[in-house]
């Protein structure tokens, strides 16, 4: 039933059903136990989820997501499995610009910050290919927008265009401000709980002596609002002169940024 083909890809029957969008065949093979004894992987160690995430056809998107959910329900532990290049289903979906697929993987608990073997996160790929909706989704879901790859470059350094760069920077700035406000609220609630005696709801009534102490001004005041935010919003434009590297022969086959300069190397398509 597995019947792996003899060509370079080494697809099993289930893998072919996945990449060809044959949803009924895919479901039938799953129900018949196709992957129960041995999980399908191609010659580059791509799992079924990796293959489904790598399909870029908009017409097949809904079917791919349904098949991915069927496979996850049966084999949930494979959601973060990577191929021989360290790329997971999340990397492939981000590279293809499949925002709905990315959101589904996030909802299923996929790790959005796992790097590939070159240190590139899904955000690196989404930024490099100019997939702004995916960039916004990843930042909204809490990815590390300051993560650097093995060559020391962040996702902003790979921005496909000025629009991509500005969208990433704005989203990062907005998330930082939201996190800052959340921390301030949490600190305020903690101080209130301590002030009122640390009851279960943080609002236990004080005795007379406690009220006198508060009225005398002896209560402690706010703590520092300092954060761990360090340079999340870059001041340099994408592809600026501070990066002297250029694309190698294995770099992503994409146009250079709109300002005419070349992006740093590192992200490659296998």
In this prediction, residue 176 carries a pLDDT of 87
Tell me how far CA of residue 91 lies from CA of 6, 80, 86, 120, 134, in angstroms: 27, 10, 9, 9, 11
H or E stretch including 90?
helix 89-96
Cα gap 90→268, rounded to integer Å: 16
CA atoms within 13 A on the CB side of 39: 17
Lowest mean pLDDT among 4-18, 125-139, 206-220: 206-220
Of 158, 167, 183, 174, nearest to 132 (Cα)? 167
> How many other CB atoms are found less than 10 A from the CB of residue 37?
7
The domains located in the chain, with CATH, are 1-101 (1.25.40.20)
The mean pLDDT of 133-161, rounded to a whole number, is 96
Cα gap 146→235, rounded to integer Å: 13
Task: Please give the radius of gyration of the chain, using alpha carbons only, rounded to the nearest integer.
Answer: 24
Of 123, 71, 134, nearest to 100 (Cα)? 134
Using DSSP, state whether 268 is helix, strand or coil. Answer: strand
Query: Bridge-partner residues for 251, per DSSP?
Result: 268
Determine the distance from the C-alpha atom of residue 16 to the mean position of all C-alpha atoms in its chain, rounded to a whole number.
Answer: 27
The mean pLDDT of 177-203, rounded to a whole number, is 77
Give 199-228 pLDDT, tens digit per residue: 445 555 444 444 444 444 444 433 334 334
List phi, psi (to 5°) of 195: -65, -40
In this prediction, residue 219 carries a pLDDT of 41
Residues counted in the chain: 270
The confidence band for 250, taking pLDDT boundaries of 50, 70 and 90, is very low
State the pTM of this model: 0.72
Q: Write the CB contacts of 143 (distance below 8 Å, at least 6 apart in sequence).
A: 112, 113, 121, 122, 123
């Amino acid at each position: 039933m597995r019947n792996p083909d003899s060509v370079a890809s080494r697809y099993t029957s289930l893998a072919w059903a996945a990449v060809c969008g044959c949803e009924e065949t895919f479901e039938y093979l799953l129900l018949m136990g196709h992957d129960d004894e041995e999980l399908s992987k191609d010659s580059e160690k791509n799992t079924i989820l990796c293959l489904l995430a790598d399909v870029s056809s908009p017409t097949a998107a809904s079917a791919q997501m349904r098949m991915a959910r069927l496979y996850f329900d049966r084999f949930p532990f494979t959601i973060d499995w990577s191929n021989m290049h360290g790329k997971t289903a999340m990397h492939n979906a981000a590279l293809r610009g499949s925002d709905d697929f990315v959101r589904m993987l996030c909802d299923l608990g996929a790790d959005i910050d796992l790097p590939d073997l070159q240190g590139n996160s899904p955000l690196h790929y989404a930024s490099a290919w100019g997939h702004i909706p995916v960039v916004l989704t990843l930042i909204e879901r809490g990815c590390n927008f300051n993560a650097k790859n093995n060559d020391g470059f962040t996702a902003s350094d790979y921005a496909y265009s000025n629009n991509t760069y500005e969208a990433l920077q704005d989203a990062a700035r907005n998330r930082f401000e939201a996190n800052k406000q959340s921390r301030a609220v949490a600190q305020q609630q903690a101080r209130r709980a301590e002030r009122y005696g640390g009851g279960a709801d943080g609002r236990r009534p004080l005795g007379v002596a406690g009220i006198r102490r508060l009225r005398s001004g002896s209560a402690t005041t706010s703590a520092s609002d300092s954060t761990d935010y360090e340079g999340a919003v870059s001041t340099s434009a994408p592809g600026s002169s501070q990066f002297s590297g250029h694309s190698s022969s294995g770099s992503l086959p994409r146009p250079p940024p709109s300002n005419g300069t070349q992006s740093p190397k590192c992200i490659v398509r296998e």
